Amino acid sequence: MLYNAGVVFGVAEGHYGSISLNSTVDRAHFNDQEALMTEWLKDVKDVDTKIYSDKVRGVLLLGIFGERHVFRGDEEVGIITRIPDNAYIFLGRENVKNGKIVLNAPGGGKSVVNLQNLTFYNILLNMSTIYNNGDAHIYYRQRRG
């Protein structure tokens, strides 16, 4: 069993082939702060308000809220599909600490990009931060007009 999981090879060779054992891969693994954020959001979220996240954090939102709205984008031109008014933006630990975001790429698949390289970053800076516990941030895009 330890051979199948890659533990023995990882200890012997110094690196792990298994994604679940490799700490450098952004995967669906959430910490306490991200989980606390979802609990807080469950208490304050309006039924009609959507929550947007990157592809990895979308797994957590799907498990808690039964739906997810994932950023779509193109890393070459630094675009994230427009976020509608009256929406929450959830950034988790990997987004906040390492500045990386996993987008749904055009045509399927995913692309990992630096958050600050996206045109969306300037929009994010002008949004209201409504929750921040260090590893999880929630922004709110208000209705305009």
What is the per-residue pLDDT across 6-35, written as a single tens digit (0 to 9) for each? Answer: 444 444 454 444 445 555 555 577 899 999
| Tokens (6 digits) for 28 | 């669906």
Same domain, 17 and 42: no
Q: Residue ranges of the alpha helices (H) in 6-69?
A: 7-13, 32-44, 55-65
Strand (E) or helix (H) holding 100: strand 100-104
Number of domains in the chain: 2
Same domain, 11 and 60: no
Residue 48: predicted pLDDT: 87
**Rounded mean pLDDT, 100-111:** 79
Which residue in 129, 59, 45, 119 sits closest to 94, CA to CA? 59
Residue 130: predicted pLDDT: 94
Strands of the chain (E only): list them: 50-53, 69-70, 73-74, 79-80, 87-91, 100-104, 110-114, 128-132, 137-141
Residue 37: predicted pLDDT: 92
Residue 136: predicted pLDDT: 94
Same domain, 58 and 10: no
Residue range 36-82, pLDDT digits in tens: 999 999 999 988 889 989 888 999 999 889 988 887 765 555 556 56
Same domain, 64 and 4: no
Same domain, 60 and 116: yes
Same domain, 6 and 71: no
Domain range for 97 is 31-141
